[in-house]
Amino acid sequence: MIRKILIANRGEIALRIVRACRELGIRTLAVYSEADEQSLHVQLADEAICIGPAPSSESYLRADRILSAAELADVDAIHPGYGFLSENAEFAEQCESCDITFIGPKSETIRQMGHKARARETVSKAGVPIIPGSDGPVDDEKIAVKTAQKIGFPVIIKAVSGGGGRGMRIAHNAATFAKEFQSARLEAEKAFGDGSLYIEKYLEDPRHIEFQILADQHGNTIHLGERDCSVQRRHQKVIEESPSPFLDKSLRNRMGKAAIKAALAADYVNAGTIEFLVDAKGNFYFIEMNTRIQVEHGVTEEATGVDLIKEQIQIASGNRLSFSQKDISLTKHAIECRICAENPAKGFIPSPGTIDLYYAPGGHGVRVDSHVYGGYTVSPHYDSMICKLITYGRTRKIALDRMYRALSEYLIRGIDTNVEFVKAVILDPAFRQGEATTSYVEKFLARAPKELFEKKPKDVSK
């Protein structure tokens, strides 16, 4: 069993890993930037080492400093969390060469599935449906527009590397293609250091549904059902839930089998996510694989009762999965809202600053994954998410009603947040009836008055 883990991350996911390790009797080392000295994961870990200034490029993205801290503290494993170096094949490879267990898949798997064009080719050969698109990266703009015309507009231009919605643009016709292609390339180069792009047919109003998979080193691969992540703003997820209100048992089984096929084709080990787009007729298409734990993993944990972080550690320790596919069922409905330090009424502008008052909701069926507290300063250097609020119950309605109650209890003063915005979504009839697709947020913002996000919305859930 692993005895000591370095947590190469920050915020709520770092705290989540600290807690899982403590329950397993594993010691933890927190690494942190100068801006995160007072963060909860630093205070609660067994040891902590500062690895640089606030900018992530000088701290959380510095593999050399993280590995130096690992050697200094004599750890035998590193958990990368999500973001930062979690899907960096070179970092995983460096861990392997230093005889440090990387809690995630093998470096070659990260490299293979992180390259979106190679990932498409890999799963397609395994019989998993993919969206029509270019055969690989398209570097020449003239060839790219001809490829788009052959596929048929609208198309989506995507960065070959990375994820999180960056390096993605939609082109509705040939006239706008060049501008969107150049914008996607520039953003991809800035975000990932790789401006390579590929092109896919753009599905209008699909649902974004992902399947959580677990695979051990002994050939056992299972899925833990789906998460519906259709409520997005600018390709960034806002609300996730499990199970999806759209999938029936038959479609769930077919998509689950496809997810396992994709994982086996990649020779995958540890926790990962297979992401699909699903059209109104139930046709589904692979879009990418996330070779790490997801932000929204807690939704699956509450729906299935499986602790995914502990399973990651157990798998990395060489243990077999303690359950099989027949043992997995979605016994509860779980919903997550991402609470961010931003102002929805002002175009979702970030709102860093010091939290003067903080009171988190509680009660039956409520889970709060957060690293903030009263007096905590939200840094402008990192993602604006400050909490993942999760509610769960026997039915979707129970989970929704608990979410509204929990959001109504949430008190955060000193900074702006999107609490009133997500509360308004939770009460929206279209969302409550399970009708949300990936275009839902844009349509909702177009019809909802901005004042709705600055005061308590009228309760229309009854």
Report the CATH number of the 4-91 domain.
3.40.50.20
Say whether pLDDT at 52 is over 80.
yes
Contact present, 337 and 400 (Cβ < 8 Å): no
Bridge partners, 212 (sequence order): 273
For 133, which DSSP code? Answer: B
How far is it, in rounded angstroms, from Cα 311 to Cα 307? 6
Contact present, 255 and 284 (Cβ < 8 Å): yes
Q: What is the pLDDT of residue 450?
A: 73
Report the CATH number of the 132-201 domain.
3.30.1490.20
State the Cα torsion 207-326-294-407 to the nearest 10°.
Answer: 70
Say whether pLDDT at 451 is over 90.
no
Say whether pLDDT at 345 is over 60.
yes
Q: How many helices (H) and strands (E) does the chain have?
A: 15, 22
Q: What is the pLDDT of residue 85?
A: 97
Mean pLDDT for 351-360 is: 97
Closest CA to 229 of 402, 82, 436: 436
How far is it, in rounded angstroms, from Cα 157 to Cα 171? 7
Residue spans of beta strands (DSSP E) within 172-219: 197-201, 207-215
Mean pLDDT computed over every residue of the chain? 95
Angle, in degrees to the nearest 10, between helices 107-114 and 89-97: 170
Q: What is the pLDDT of residue 204?
A: 87
Confidence of residue 163 (pLDDT cuts 50, 70, 90): low
SS (H, E, C) 261-321: HHHHHCCCCEEEEEEEEECCCCCEEEEEEECCCCCCHHHHHHHHCCCHHHHHHHHHCCCCC
Mind listing the pLDDT tens digit for each residue in 81-135? Answer: 999 999 999 999 999 999 999 999 999 999 999 988 899 999 999 999 999 899 8
Q: Which helix (H) or strand (E) holds 107?
A: helix 107-114
How far is it, in rounded angstroms, from Cα 216 to Cα 59? 31
Mind listing the pLDDT tens digit for each residue in 242-285? Answer: 999 999 999 999 999 999 999 999 999 999 999 999 999 999 99
Contact present, 153 and 172 (Cβ < 8 Å): yes
Say whether pLDDT at 460 is over 50.
no
The residues near 350 (Cβ < 8 Å, ≥ 6 apart) are 341, 342, 380, 384
Confidence of residue 452 (pLDDT cuts 50, 70, 90): confident
How far is it, in rounded angstroms, from Cα 160 to Cα 196? 6
Catalytic positions are 292
How far is it, in rounded angstroms, from Cα 213 to Cα 312? 11
Q: What is the pLDDT of residue 136?
A: 85
Q: How many CB atoms lie within 10 A of CB 63?
A: 18
State the Cα torsion 63-66-68-71 to the nearest 10°.
Answer: -120
CA distances from residue 72 to 76, 96, 455 in whole angstroms, order as listed: 11, 17, 51
Give 207-453's CATH code, choosing from 3.30.1490.20, 3.30.470.20, 3.90.10.10, 3.40.190.170: 3.30.470.20
The residues near 120 (Cβ < 8 Å, ≥ 6 apart) are 130, 133, 198, 286
Mean pLDDT for 303-310 is: 98
Mean pLDDT for 364-382 is: 97
Q: What is the pLDDT of residue 193?
A: 84
Confidence of residue 311 (pLDDT cuts 50, 70, 90): very high
Mind listing the pLDDT tens digit for each residue in 185-208? Answer: 999 998 888 999 999 999 989 999
How far is it, in rounded angstroms, from Cα 138 to Cα 196? 7
Q: What is the pLDDT of residue 453?
A: 74
Closest CA to 457 of 241, 357, 448: 448
Confidence of residue 164 (pLDDT cuts 50, 70, 90): low
Amino acid letter for position 141: E
Say whether pLDDT at 462 is over 50.
no
Domain regions of the chain by residue span: 4-91, 132-201, 207-453
Pairing of strands 77-79, 4-7: parallel
Q: Would you say the CATH fold of 207-453 matches that of 4-91?
A: no
Mind listing the pLDDT tens digit for each residue in 226-239? Answer: 999 999 998 899 99
Q: What is the pTM for the complete model shown?
A: 0.90
Mean pLDDT for 328-338 is: 97
Six-digit token string for 122: 């890999």
Q: What is the pLDDT of residue 135?
A: 85
Write phi, then psi, for 412 (nearest 5 degrees): -135, 115
Amino acid letter for position 166: R
Bridge partners, 168 (sequence order): 158
Q: Which of 187-201, 245-259, 287-301, 353-367 has the lowest mean pLDDT?
A: 187-201
Mean pLDDT for 10-16 is: 98
The residues near 421 (Cβ < 8 Å, ≥ 6 apart) are 344, 453
